[in-house]
Amino acid sequence: MQLLDGKATAQDIREELRVAVEQRKSNGQKVPHLAAVLVGNDGGSLTYVNAKVKACEQIGFDSSLIRYEDSVTEDELLAKVHELNNDDEIDGFIVQLPLPEHIDELKVTQAIDPLKDVDGFHPENLGKMVLNLPCFLPATPAGILELLKRNNIETEGKDCVVIGRSNIVGTPLSIMLGRSSNPGNCTVTLTHSRTKNLKEKVSQADIIIAAIGKPGFVTADMVKEGAVVVDVGTTRVPDSTKKSGWALKGDVKFDEVAEKCSFITPVPGGVGPMTIASLMINTLRSMDLRGK
């Protein structure tokens, strides 16, 4: 088994981006500015957003963090989205999900200017992704493809089973892996809570993408010898041995699955850092798209 080390791969990308920012500076071009909007105090979301801001600092991007209480109204949030759309200093921005129940996530993501939608969640970007047109690709699926590519994982003609059909991971990733591209050209099965014989389907896969948010869901008996396993799960579970009182757990029982597969992503240090790296790639690209 070999580790698909997202942390190391993301570090390589960050270094490339840092050099690109230096280059822009020496050409007298604008430094990319990413803004992140965070609503509430969810520990997981706060950790991710802080990691995004830290990545900006490392690369040399400007960044802004805009925080609201859980009680923020949909109108207030939409007003901020419009303000960021019209602020020429801001090159790309994200609204961290999930949002509180009283706010319509779709309404908020649809309000973002597609040319600043560095998360790639706007229907225009998702539609362009389906058609293989230039666009912002959603960060987690794009990060997974980049991880496979940079680690020379062959995808062409492979049978891939994606577990979980979320709008931000499973559904777009199933399309991206099936497209005529590299990585891509997989035969993809998108599985979910209503899938029959899930275990049997997963156990036939050359590539398994686990993205359902159920810690330890994928066990060794579900994995074919030599499969490639990508774990998107990041659930916080109580852990008294940690200072924080919790540990991040993936959707895969790492120890037993690692013995059977050819490649596997760890949690943490696998997909998470790659999501952030993709967001940074998208932020740099936003400069080209907007002619900056």
97 binds ligand GUN (CB under 6 A): yes
Task: Find the residue with minimal CB distance to ligand GUN.
Answer: 97
Which of residues 91 and 119 has its CB atom nearest to ligand GUN in the complex? 119
- 139 lies in the binding site for ligand GUN (CB under 6 A): yes
Whose CA is closest to 54, among 41, 36, 67, 40?
36
Choice among 91, 119, 206, 251 that is catalytic = 119
User: Which is nearer to ligand GUN, 94 or 129 (by Cβ)?
Assistant: 94
For CA atoms 65, 70, 73, 78, give the dihedral sign: positive
Distance CA 252, CA 245 (A): 21
Distance of CA 87 to the CA centre of its chain: 25
Residues 6+ apart with CB under 8 A from 47: none
Q: Which stretch binds ligand GUN (CB under 6 A): 13-21, 93-101, 199-207, 235-243?
A: 93-101
136 versus 217: smaller Cβ distance to ligand GUN: 136
Cα separation, 19 vs 91, in Å, equals 19
Closest CB to ligand GUN among 117 and 206? 117
Question: Is 117 an interacting residue with respect to ligand GUN (CB under 6 A)?
Answer: no
Q: Is residue 119 among the annotated active site residues?
A: yes
Stretch that binds ligand GUN, among 78-86, 92-100, 149-157, 266-274 (CB under 6 A): 92-100
Under the binding rule (CB under 6 A), the answer on residue 283 touching ligand GUN is: no
Instruction: State how far the alpha carbon of 281 is from the alpha carbons of 61, 180, 272, 286, in Å.
Output: 11, 22, 15, 9
Rounded Cα–Cα distance for residues 251 and 265 (Å) = 11
| Strand, coil or helix: 45 | helix
Q: Does 206 bind ligand GUN (CB under 6 A)?
A: no
Look up 52 and say whether it is catalytic.
yes
Whether 5 is catalytic is no
Which of the residues are catalytic?
52, 96, 119
